[in-house]
A = this chain, B = another copy of it.
Amino acid sequence: MIGRLNHVAIAVPDLEAASEQYRTALGAKVNAPQDEPDHGVTVVFIELPNTKIELLYPLGENSPIAGFLEKNPAGGIHHVCYEVDDIIAARDHLKASGLRVLGNGEPKIGAHGKPVLFLHPKDMNGTLVELEQV
């Protein structure tokens, strides 16, 4: 069911410093920051040949990243995102398998403009998993 790894998201305490580090020290292709006010984050995409790294920084109040950075002031890997063809079919299969979907269980439009869901990390080996319909 799951397809490609769409991205790995890393929450960072200093978006400019992290972007510069990936650009110059790691020599990666780093895009310009994008504010995503609907999601409470500013995002920088790093393009690797086979997938993306998504640097996340809090935007506005009640950012979903703020609490994570309080617990992890240096930053840390926040979630992984797997692609699916049909997010409703995926959700129903995962729920039938005993996995909890966060929120009200309905897909939302994610930072890439596509429907996404998150699975409860306690059901997934402590890993926050995003599913994105592509």
Q: Which residues on A are within 8 Å of B, measured CB to CB?
A: 1-5, 8, 10-13, 18, 21, 24-28, 48-51, 53, 55, 72, 74-77, 80, 82, 93-94, 97-99, 121-122, 124-127
Contact = CB atoms under 8 A, between A and B. Distances in A.
A74 B5 contact: no
A124 to B, nearest CB: 8
Contact of A75 (B1, B10, B74, B126): B126
Contacts of A82: 26, 48
Contacts of A2: 26-28, 48
Specify how many copies of this chain sit in the oligomer.
2
- Which 7 residue pairs are nearest across A and B when measured between Cβ atoms? A1-B27, A75-B125, A25-B97, A76-B126, A74-B126, A75-B126, A77-B77
Nearest to A98: B25
Contact of A48 (B4, B13, B77): B4
A50 B8 CA distance: 13
A57 to B, nearest CB: 10
